[in-house]
Amino acid sequence: MTKSVVVLDYGFGNIRSAERALARAGADVEITADYDRAMNADGLLVPGVGAFAACMAGLKSVRGDWLVGRRLAGGRPVMGICVGMQILFARGIEHGVPSAGLDEWPGTVEPLRAPVVPHMGWNTVRAPEDSRQFAGLDDDARFYFVHSYAVRAWDLDPRGVIRPPKVTWTTHGEPFVAAVENGPLWATQFHPEKSGDAGAQLLANWLGTL
């Protein structure tokens, strides 16, 4: 049965690229900011491009913060991409100014410390062996990144957590979080919709959870 996915249109992100990639993976895709349609879809994809604070403001303008929280409270799948992943963390710091995120995970999005920034290109990743996100993918699979900020430290203490999130890492100048799998909440710093066959497999893996 075809799964319905809403790509949230809040003014930030490569929504057409995401729409095409999800459709190729077999989803029935709609681009909308309508709260009820996004709430009732099988899956919600939150893209993101640009500044952390601006993306948060855009998300709140369409009640996206409530939408993400309510879907996750009901165990309904949400996936964030690029800045759509970053805003899931507690805060972002840009030009020395902190901004509050959705705080689904503790942690800070900070400037990436690397010889060349922005980080623009293809990288392999280091995923946990039991990751559903990267199921069916070889260790040498490469994904496309475009960003200047990243989460450089994972701050969630796993003690007392029944199912701790599975965190995937990569390195550009320094290690940073490339993806997170946390029950119904998935996120990637890279762009699966621009990552060829590897990205298509990851999106198909997500659709398989809906």
193 included as an active-site residue: yes
Sheet holding 97-100, edge to edge: 97-100, 89-94, 105-111, 149-151
147 included as an active-site residue: no
List the catalytic residue out of 19, 82, 104, 181: 82
Residue 127: burial class (beta carbons within 10 Å; 0-12, 13-18, 19+): buried
Closest CA to 41 of 79, 4, 73: 4
**155: number of Cβ within 10 Å:** 11
Report residue 116 as tokens.
């060349």
Distance between CA atoms of residues 2 and 147, nearest Å: 33
List the catalytic residue out of 19, 104, 181, 193: 193
95 included as an active-site residue: no
Distance between CA atoms of residues 42 and 207, nearest Å: 9
Which residues are known catalytic residues? 82, 191, 193
